[in-house]
Structure 1
Amino acid sequence: MSFAGDQQRGSTTKTTAHFVLVPMMAQGHTIPMTDLACLLAEHGAQVSLITTPVNAARMAGFVAGVEEASLPVQLVELPFPAAEFGLSDGCENLDMLQSTEHIRDFIKACGALQEPLAARLRQEWPPPSCIISDMMHWWTSDIARELGIPRLTFSGFCTFASLARDIIYRDNLLENLNDEEEIVKLSGFPTPLELPKARLPGSLRISGVEQIREKIYAEEMRSDGKIMNSFQELEILYIESYKQATGKKVWTVGPMCLCHRDSNTMAARGNKASLDEPKCLQWLDSNKPGSVIFVSFGSLVSTAPEQLVELGLGLEASNRPFIWVIKAGNKFPEVEEWLADGFEERVKDRGMIIRGWAPQMMILWHQAIGGFMTHCGWNSIIEGICAGVPMITWPHFAEQFLNEKLVVDHLKIGMEVGVKGVTQWGSEQKEVKVTRNAVETAVSTLMNDGEAAQEMRMRAKDFGVKARRALEEEGSSYNNIRLLIQEMGNKQNASG
């Protein structure tokens, strides 16, 4: 795919800003980057999105979408050296790793893309004016310095969690803490914030990753700024505090998911069509507005069968209509056996079960949806906010417990299901974290007509309106995107 309207080499004509986007190969990281590519291109910038063959195959819908819209976006494929780092052939995405033991090897394999990417960018025309890379790709800083262009980092976190993470790393708050339940207070945070060590980002220690983590943080601090998938009206206090704490420019250009929110353009986010999609729409159409609870836990969460059973029995006991997206990894046959042993038959008149991938944005925007039970990944939360849907929070790992704090305590658009322990990604869940009674209580409370539920619904709808306005002409994120493109273009023309 080539750029439309490229300037000729040697021309003195003013050059359009050319952004190189380098996402982490994980669905939760890649999807907002593809959205960012579209947003930048829609504002007139040229974009090169870097990926690998297996991930490029997943993004066929994205490629078709940008070509149909004639957006100046090109997909650049680089061979991924999986075998050289002890990974199975074709293992090019975090969701393909069997355990956390391979994370170090995967990150190192990503780092080996440095020279091939640098060689490609040396030949690009128009030349790159800026690299926006996932914070995990610390090595892209070396490429940016060689080319004499800015490197901006993208983490996929909200600003609330990013600020907390910065304070934790800067002040070494987790050092010498052996008790996973010891309460950690984050001094310097603009509002009171404390959580047990296990619920904070950085608490998961993986052999051999500590040195890499230090490089990631060091290069993040040397970067020229941050791109955030958020908007000013949602997190203004934390955005300003983050700018002060890091001394960096922060561009909030979200919610990026609004770039492709309807069913006709979902393919541009890299999602394949689901066989359940027409059936799903028909089922939703048969339910009253605001009556259905949607349950989905993201791409990396693989819930243990015992916990899925408790969750299902809680949904059944709530007597509320529900759509439930189930993923159980290699233990899914056990779940299928339970579903077939009476559960699916008992709930067939008011429950729909989707196995694997689901058209989440399409579901959330349907008028029948009245609540969203989420694992608290930021992509899911921002999608729920955009749709104006209140949430039941069920965090598992990473920064998800911080996101829960933002949603429940500060935005006041959700309620906790009552998770008592951390389920670390890549480790087998040993016991049930949330009982059926807790699920039933949370669903019944959120979906009823009580004063607290009505207040959450009202606030959620208000933030949904603000989210949409942020990306409309002269909205806060709309203006930030234009300023970003202008500044990077000016730097390129000044250096040229």
Structure 2
Amino acid sequence: MGGSRFHSLMYPWFATGHMTPFLYLANKLAEKGHMVTFLLPKKALKQLEHLNLFPHNIVFRFVTVPHVDGLPVGTETASEIPLSTNNLLMSAMDLTRDQVEAVVRAVEPDLIFFDFAHWIPEVSRDFGLKTVKFVVVSASTIANMVVPGGELGVPPPGYPSTKVLLCKQDAYTMKKPDPTIDVGPNFFERVTTSLLNCDAIAIRTVREIEGDLCDYIEKHSRKKVLVTGPVFPEPDKTIQLEERWVKWLSGYEPDSVVFCALGSQIILEKDQFQELCLGMELTGSPFLVVVKPPRGSSTVQEALPEGFSERVKGRGVVWEGWVQQPLILSHPSVGCFVSHCGFGSMWESLLSDCQIVLVPQAQLGDHIRNARLMTDELKVSVEVVREEIGWFSKESLCNAVNSVMKSDSEIGNLVKKNHTKWRETLASPGLMTGYVDNFIESLKDLVSGPTMTER
């Protein structure tokens, strides 16, 4: 390490919602003159390359993901597979250990940021390096894991946020992996092992929202918890919204369009997909739905409800391609964001002017916790009521959207007022840069301090 500059190696979980915030953080480090070697699969390069704002300081290196039984041949990222097979991709990434060790040997970093690869601390100790577990989900998700043996819905002693605890109903609806398939450590074991063996924990949050939870994690993990802030890039004024969406959105009144996006990995069942479409139709508002084709369908068009396209022609679009979500959210015609409440989308919604409606996927406990944080604690959103089967009816979706879109709605005015307060807090001058500056200073201290084996 030359002077106060350091060199980081980053090895994120190969999912869009994880690789992207890792790269956002890499940009913040590179902006201050630090070097980053970023490991990713070749399929992700096109998706991420344009987000590398400092290519002289951030170098991509490719990792070949070996094949494991149960995954389609050639699978490299989580966006290519259903959520139920994520554990297989994690096992495939475990087999990249030799490749990671070779990169460490070649580039000689000072520290390693990692995600679900729980074996990274073992690798780092062999080379005398520091490790940081970078948590790109909420602190509430990790806080539920630092005290083992807890009961669902029952807060452990000292737990600061009871409203984000999973209840038994949530656990029932979350799909469990097939117990007959040996995929190595499960998700919980990976996270807890990572928390136990890393040198420090970094969380993509702010203390204004989750400070008590960060302190709780630090106390029970006995590890320094560093807070990065959302680490979003500054808006690039040279990048404009695609003309097709500018033209379509500009045909509607301000704050009238409902925009629904469910992330890069969620694949709905056909009946869930159709209920979503019918619920949007029932709102009576113009709408844009961005979603993957449902299971068993090759396109969204072939899976649409009968007569749907004709009924919503001129006011509704269902789109299966990639869109510029932050730019759509900032368009003056968009008044409501229906989100699955992934952590990245949560931050984007908080920083937008849109009303927020949440439809967390029952399979993803962190999305459920995010929704509880937004709805029950911050009170900036409404959550669509789910049926016992874990999804929602078209009527419940319609009711949730209309409850925040109508100008005379009491709940709509309440969440709008709270949302405005939090948006102004998060956008206050110097807040985000202050988090990044403090984080980098903490990393310098970490790099110069003793390793786990030296303590």
Q: What residue identity is the alignment partner of 1:110?
A: M
Shift of 1:415: 0.8
Shift of 1:384: 0.7
Shift of 1:348: 2.9
1:53 and 1:284 mapped to 2: Cα distance?
34
Q: Does 1:28 align with 2:17?
A: yes
1:395-445, CA deviations, whole angstroms, 9 ceiling, x for partnerless residues?
Answer: 11222111111011001001111013466xxxxxxxxx2112111211110
Q: Which of 82, 91, 105 pairs up with 2:67?
A: 82
Shift of 1:220: 1.9
1:409 and 1:439 mapped to 2: Cα distance?
18
- Corresponding residue for residue 204 of structure 1: 176
Given that 1:16 and 1:489 are in contact with CA atoms closer than 8 Å, whether structure 2 keeps it comes out as: no
- Corresponding residue for residue 49 of structure 2: 60
- Corresponding residue for residue 33 of structure 2: 44
Q: Which of 100, 106, 109 pairs up with 1:128?
A: 109
Shift of 1:292: 1.9
Q: What residue identity is the alignment partner of 1:223?
A: C
- Corresponding residue for residue 419 of structure 1: 386
- Corresponding residue for residue 322 of structure 2: 357
Given that 1:255 and 1:386 are in contact with CA atoms closer than 8 Å, whether structure 2 keeps it comes out as: no
Given that 1:232 and 1:477 are in contact with CA atoms closer than 8 Å, whether structure 2 keeps it comes out as: no
Report the secondary structure of 2:146's partner residue: helix
Shift of 1:56: 2.8
2:149 and 2:106 mapped to 1: Cα distance?
42
Shift of 1:251: 1.7
Report the secondary structure of 1:332's partner residue: coil
Shift of 1:347: 2.1
RMSD across aligned C-alpha pairs, in angstroms? 2.9
2:41 and 2:300 mapped to 1: Cα distance?
33
Report the secondary structure of 1:145's partner residue: helix
2:30 and 2:120 mapped to 1: Cα distance?
22
- Corresponding residue for residue 234 of structure 1: 209
Shift of 1:48: 0.8
Q: Which of 407, 410, 414 pairs up with 1:451?
A: 410
1:233-284, CA deviations, whole angstroms, 9 ceiling, x for partnerless residues?
Answer: 222222222222322222221212x215457469xxxxxxxxx932112222
1:331 and 1:294 mapped to 2: Cα distance?
25
1:145 and 1:338 mapped to 2: Cα distance?
51
1:347-393, CA deviations, whole angstroms, 9 ceiling, x for partnerless residues?
Answer: 23332332232211111122222221111211111111122433211
Given that 1:163 and 1:242 are in contact with CA atoms closer than 8 Å, whether structure 2 keeps it comes out as: yes
1:422 and 1:114 mapped to 2: Cα distance?
39
State TM-score, norm by structure 2: 0.88
Q: Does 1:405 align with 2:372?
A: yes
In structure 2, do the counterparts of structure 1 residues 98 and 292 end up closer, same or farther at CA, with 3 Å as the change threshold? closer
Shift of 1:79: 2.4
1:311 and 1:103 mapped to 2: Cα distance?
24
Report the secondary structure of 1:184's partner residue: coil
Given that 2:83 and 2:265 are in contact with CA atoms closer than 8 Å, whether structure 1 keeps it comes out as: no
Superposed, 1:361-400 pairs within 5 Å as 361-396=326-361, 397-398=363-364, 399-400=366-367
Report the secondary structure of 2:39's partner residue: strand
Shift of 1:172: 4.7
In structure 2, do the counterparts of structure 1 residues 368 and 57 end up closer, same or farther at CA, with 3 Å as the change threshold? closer
Report the secondary structure of 1:171's partner residue: coil
Q: Which moved more, 1:307-316 or 1:201-210?
A: 201-210
Given that 1:255 and 1:467 are in contact with CA atoms closer than 8 Å, whether structure 2 keeps it comes out as: no
Report the secondary structure of 2:288's partner residue: strand
Q: Which moved more, 1:330-339 or 1:318-327?
A: 330-339
Given that 1:290 and 1:367 are in contact with CA atoms closer than 8 Å, whether structure 2 keeps it comes out as: yes
Q: What residue identity is the alignment partner of 1:142?
A: E
Given that 2:82 and 2:267 are in contact with CA atoms closer than 8 Å, whether structure 1 keeps it comes out as: no
In structure 2, do the counterparts of structure 1 residues 160 and 263 end up closer, same or farther at CA, with 3 Å as the change threshold? farther
Calculate percent identity across the aligned residue pairs: 22
In structure 2, do the counterparts of structure 1 residues 248 and 476 end up closer, same or farther at CA, with 3 Å as the change threshold? farther
Q: What residue identity is the alignment partner of 2:62?
A: E
Q: Does 1:192 align with 2:162?
A: yes
State TM-score, norm by structure 1: 0.81
- Corresponding residue for residue 171 of structure 1: 149
Q: Which moved more, 1:450-459 or 1:322-331?
A: 322-331
Greater RCO (Cα-Cα under 8 Å, separation 6 or more): 1
Structure 1 gap segments, 5+ residues each: 1-6, 8-12, 174-182, 267-275, 424-432
1:48 and 1:485 mapped to 2: Cα distance?
16
1:31 and 1:109 mapped to 2: Cα distance?
20
In structure 2, do the counterparts of structure 1 residues 187 and 330 end up closer, same or farther at CA, with 3 Å as the change threshold? closer
- Count how many residue pairs are aligned between Structure 1 and Structure 2: 443
1:345 and 1:215 mapped to 2: Cα distance?
48
Report the secondary structure of 2:290's partner residue: strand
2:335 and 2:423 mapped to 1: Cα distance?
13
Given that 1:52 and 1:77 are in contact with CA atoms closer than 8 Å, whether structure 2 keeps it comes out as: yes
Given that 1:375 and 1:393 are in contact with CA atoms closer than 8 Å, whether structure 2 keeps it comes out as: yes
1:474 and 1:331 mapped to 2: Cα distance?
43
Given that 1:369 and 1:389 are in contact with CA atoms closer than 8 Å, whether structure 2 keeps it comes out as: yes
Given that 2:384 and 2:396 are in contact with CA atoms closer than 8 Å, whether structure 1 keeps it comes out as: yes
Q: Does 1:91 align with 2:75?
A: yes
- Corresponding residue for residue 299 of structure 1: 264
Report the secondary structure of 1:403's partner residue: helix
Shift of 1:76: 1.1
1:318 and 1:81 mapped to 2: Cα distance?
46
Q: Which moved more, 1:378-387 or 1:480-489?
A: 480-489
2:171 and 2:155 mapped to 1: Cα distance?
11
1:332 and 1:88 mapped to 2: Cα distance?
17
Q: What residue identity is the alignment partner of 1:448?
A: K
Given that 1:293 and 1:371 are in contact with CA atoms closer than 8 Å, whether structure 2 keeps it comes out as: yes
Q: What residue identity is the alignment partner of 2:11?
A: V
Q: Which runs of 4+ in 1 moved over 6 A?
A: none
2:11 and 2:279 mapped to 1: Cα distance?
41
In structure 2, do the counterparts of structure 1 residues 198 and 148 end up closer, same or farther at CA, with 3 Å as the change threshold? farther
Q: Which moved more, 1:410-419 or 1:14-23?
A: 14-23
Report the secondary structure of 1:300's partner residue: coil
Given that 1:40 and 1:481 are in contact with CA atoms closer than 8 Å, whether structure 2 keeps it comes out as: no
- Corresponding residue for residue 118 of structure 1: 101
Shift of 1:216: 4.2
- Corresponding residue for residue 218 of structure 1: 193
Structure 2 gap segments, 5+ residues each: none
